[in-house]
Amino acid sequence: MDLKYQVVTFGCQMNEHDSEVLAGMMESLGYTHTDDINECDAIIINTCCVRESAENKILGYIGNLKRLKRINPRLIIAVGGCMVQQQGAGEKLKKRASHVDIIFGTHNMYRLPQFINEVRHGGQILEIVDEECEIPEALPIKRQGKIKAQISIMYGCNNFCTYCIVPYVRGRERSLAPETIKNEFIALGNEGYQEVMLLGQNVNSYGQDFDYAFDFADLLKTLDETGKISRIRYMTSHPRDFSKKLIDTIYECESVCEHFHLPIQSGSNRILKFMNRGYTREFYLSLIEEIRKKFSYHSLTTDIIVGFPGETEQDFKDTLELFKEVEFDAAYTFLYSTRSGTPAAKMPDQVASEVKKERLQQLMEVQNAISLRINQRLVGKFEEILVEGTSKTSERTMTGRTRTNKIVNFPGEMDLAGKIIPVKITKAKTWHLEGEIIDQMKKN
């Protein structure tokens, strides 16, 4: 009988990418993907624990699967990834959710095929290892899309920002060899991909674990020189390590997009220090200035945490002021969430939930107005769009992105998908743009 599976992903793009490997491994076992959860023989859940809200959502989701397991006792449920890798979380999950068959962490996810084969004959597996392993090469992969692809260039994080759980669940930084990345990149180009996203928690420290000198800028240059892919993106880059050399390299490399995502996290020096971010507000501002001097066409986005322990009204004002001064194209705003095991969890002066929410609201209002204003400046201009497919709302509306990562929706036909075309911007919204293709393009 045909075995069906689904991989359900929570969390960041790195998790999305790991899930492509999990899916690849399931297919190599002979399973095929289904969109209908009710007909699954195996459900793999790849988890996140960066904020409490993520964990609650996942626990709710796992709880709901009990019903499916009752209907089909042969259904295999596997839960792995960051949430499970936390200290003691595997045992807790095992007790709490006895309908879960396999529990695994981040460092042993490549063992999924063995786990599946074992529990096919019954039993339960709980395996979490503390040690980062060698990154196994040549794992099977089932990519989500045909136009954009992702490559993990490094795993783990050494930064230990005091609020963040990632270094504890993802281990120390390990970079993939440039040759390995280059080969994958070229292969993607040969398969017709137009865009590649290079992934790491802090791509700027790529290569620091090599015994030879080769950094992220060198990698970008190497990949750009292949001429295989029209657009290269990367995520995430830490402002502290964003070097002059990197700015120059991005400028020189035609395929590297002019989108700078530089998470600031707070506009207050006091809070940045408590966060262990390793830069000041002034450093950040001078970095932005440097980028803006060099790039007339670019976009700038950020991540921000509101309500970090000890954040006073003044600290928050510093953040607001910084937002008004910098004018980000967009910001991902988060309420500080206590992560047990991190230094910030034990810091004094935790901010009350209502205060945090009120501040977040205020910041979002300021940012939304700025985003809209920046987008309005684009009306009437032409943007180069990589068309990704039909929009969520209508079959006749196509959607794509600018090099600066802005979403543009426009009337068009499906055969444009995967093409890079000029689109005239006709309308600006806070989160996206609307446009139209010129007549000549429509005919071709």
User: What is the contact surface with ligand SAH in residues (CB under 6 A)?
Assistant: 50-51, 163-164, 166, 201-202, 236, 238, 263, 265, 303, 305, 334, 336-337, 339
Q: Applying CB under 6 A, which part among 137-145, 152-160, 358-366, 409-417 lies near ligand SF4? A: 152-160
CB of 244 to ligand SF4, least distance (A): 21
CB of 156 to ligand F3S, least distance (A): 9
CB of 9 to ligand SF4, least distance (A): 18
Q: Which does 167 bind (CB under 5 to 8 A by kind): ligand F3S, ligand SF4, ligand SAH, none?
A: ligand SF4
x-marked contacts with ligand SF4 along 159-198 as a string, rule CB under 6 A: xxx--x-xx-------------------------------
Based on CB atoms, which residue is closest to ligand SAH, 151 or 423?
151
Based on CB atoms, which residue is closest to ligand SF4, 202 or 402?
202
Among 7, 21, 44, 48, binds ligand F3S (CB under 6 A): 48
Q: Determine, following the binding rule CB under 6 A, whether residue 113 of this chain makes contact with ligand SF4.
A: no
* Chain mean position to CA 185: 19
x-marked contacts with ligand F3S along 1-40 as a string, rule CB under 6 A: ----------xx-xx-------------------------
Q: Which does 337 bind (CB under 5 to 8 A by kind): ligand SF4, ligand F3S, ligand SAH, none?
A: ligand SAH
Among 202, 204, 301, 402, binds ligand SF4 (CB under 6 A): 202
21 is written with which tokens?
A: 């490997």
**Residues 137-166 interacting with ligand F3S (rule: CB under 6 A):** 165-166
Q: Determine, following the binding rule CB under 6 A, whether residue 332 of this chain makes contact with ligand SF4.
A: no
Q: Determine, following the binding rule CB under 6 A, whether residue 50 of this chain makes contact with ligand F3S.
A: yes
CB of 88 to ligand F3S, least distance (A): 16
CB of 56 to ligand F3S, least distance (A): 14
Backbone angles phi, psi at 232, to 5 degrees: -115, 130
Q: Which residues bind ligand F3S (CB under 6 A)?
A: 11-12, 14-15, 48-50, 82, 165-166, 169-170
